[in-house]
Amino acid sequence: MTDSFDTTTVGEIVATDFRAAGVFEQFGIDFCCGGRRSLADACRTAGADPIVVRAALDTIAAGSDDAADDVRQWPLDRLIDHIVATHHAYVRIALPTIAHHLAKLATVHGERHPELARVTAAFDKLRHGLQQHLMKEEHVLFPYIRELATRTDAHPFVSPFGTVTNPIHMMEREHREAGEELRLIRELTNGYTPPADGCATYRVAFEELAQFERDLHRHVHLENNVLFPDAIALEQRSSSGSFDV
């Protein structure tokens, strides 16, 4: 890992070993929407000491030889199943729960903490956007990728989108928008730190927000850095008539 520090991307590192996500989060390194940056560049952007980051990554790498950690080796249908069952399911459960808690906080504590109104508004925008986003992935993009991945003939394949890169670019843009809303919420909540006069609901809601952001980082990483590039490459092979999986 240290030999390719200047060229290996953070997305590739997390794809190889998912435990690296925890290391990057510790140092404030964006591995999902910023997953195509080299590790060296990501460290510079985050203001992280590259020597310390490399040491942390080497430590987790030394502790596992399990090829199952490398999601790049998974079949695309397995990866899609994991994204939907793990991350989409979590988002659908978490969104209404967090929204309810934030609305309660704004009602009870909004006068003393006016920033709660902005937090609630930002989360509502995030919630509505993600609900539509999941539907587009599950009913349009993912079925097309599944069809690509399970084809057994060598005939050129015509995409209903012109090319799969079109809906992928839309999904990536929506990922960035979701990330921006969460960055605003994190800033408004001082890193999800409840105030001294915060009640139990305050603490619970902020813990939920922190967990939601961690899950979204992993969710977006799997799509932006693993699923989408593989789908583009697979479509290109299929459309050229050199179908090979």
Q: SS3 letters for the chain? A: CHHHCCCCEHHHHHHHCCCHHHHHHHCCCCCCCCCCCEHHHHHHHHCCCHHHHHHHHHHHHHCCCCHHHCHHHCCHHHHHHHHHHHHHHHHHHHHHHHHHHHHHHHHHHCCCCCHHHHHHHHHHHHHHHHHHHHHHHHHHHHHHHHHHHHCCCCCCCCCCCCCCHHHHHHHHHHHHHHHHHHHHHHHHCCCCCCCCCCCHHHHHHHHHHHHHHHHHHHHHHHHHHHHHHHHHHHHHHHHCCCCCC
Please give the pLDDT value at position 90.
92
Same domain, 91 and 51: no
User: What is the distance between the alpha carbons of residues 32 and 34, in angstroms, rounded to a whole number?
Assistant: 5
Same domain, 81 and 64: no
Same domain, 114 and 209: yes
Same domain, 89 and 57: no
Q: Which of 63-77, 168-182, 183-197, 216-230 has the lowest mean pLDDT?
A: 63-77
Question: 27 with 53: CB under 8 angstroms?
Answer: yes
What domain range includes position 11?
2-69
Q: How confident is the model at residue 114 (pLDDT cuts 50, 70, 90)?
A: very high
Total number of domains constituting the chain: 2
Question: Is 245 within a domain?
Answer: no
Residue 196's alpha-carbon distances to 99, 113, 135, 199, 200, in angstroms, are 22, 12, 39, 9, 11
Same domain, 43 and 151: no
Question: 181 with 74: CB under 8 angstroms?
Answer: no
Please give the pLDDT value at position 117.
96
Same domain, 80 and 174: yes
Residue at which a domain ends, from 28, 54, 69:
69
Q: How confident is the model at residue 52 (pLDDT cuts 50, 70, 90)?
A: confident
Q: How confident is the model at residue 50 (pLDDT cuts 50, 70, 90)?
A: confident
Same domain, 232 and 138: yes
User: What is the distance between the alpha carbons of residues 95 and 123, in angstroms, rounded to a whole number?
Assistant: 9
Same domain, 62 and 180: no
Same domain, 21 and 128: no
Q: What is the pLDDT of residues 8-38, one digit of tens each?
A: 888 888 877 767 877 888 788 888 777 788 8
Q: How confident is the model at residue 245 (pLDDT cuts 50, 70, 90)?
A: very low
Q: Which of 99-113, 154-168, 211-225 has the lowest mean pLDDT?
A: 154-168
Q: How confident is the model at residue 62 (pLDDT cuts 50, 70, 90)?
A: low
Please give the pLDDT value at position 145.
94
Same domain, 175 and 220: yes
Q: What angle do CA 213, 106, 198 make, to 5 degrees?
A: 75
Residue at which a domain ends, from 42, 69, 96:
69
Sequence-distant (≥ 6) Cβ neighbours of residue 242 within 8 angstroms: 154
Q: What is the pLDDT of residues 181-206, one digit of tens each?
A: 999 999 999 999 999 988 888 999 99
Question: Is 244 within a domain?
Answer: no
Mean pLDDT (the chain) is 86
Query: Percent of the chain beyond pLDDT 90?
Result: 53
Decide if pLDDT at 3 tops 60. no
Closest CA to 171 of 179, 162, 182: 179
- Whether pTM > 0.85 for this model: the answer is no
Please give the pLDDT value at position 6.
64
Residue at which a domain ends, from 18, 53, 69:
69
Question: Is 211 within a domain?
Answer: yes
Closest CA to 53 of 68, 70, 40, 71: 40
Please give the pLDDT value at position 155.
62
Q: How confident is the model at residue 61 (pLDDT cuts 50, 70, 90)?
A: low
Question: Is 231 within a domain?
Answer: yes
Sequence-distant (≥ 6) Cβ neighbours of residue 202 within 8 angstroms: 105, 109, 194, 195
Same domain, 81 and 41: no
Sequence-distant (≥ 6) Cβ neighbours of residue 111 within 8 angstroms: none
Q: What is the pLDDT of residues 120-175, one digit of tens each?
A: 999 999 999 999 999 999 999 999 999 888 876 666 666 778 899 999 999 999 99
Task: State CA 223 to chain mean position distance.
Answer: 7
User: What is the distance between the alpha carbons of residues 213 and 204, in angstroms, rounded to a whole number?
Assistant: 14
Regarding predicted confidence, which is higher, 177 or 6?
Answer: 177
Same domain, 33 and 145: no
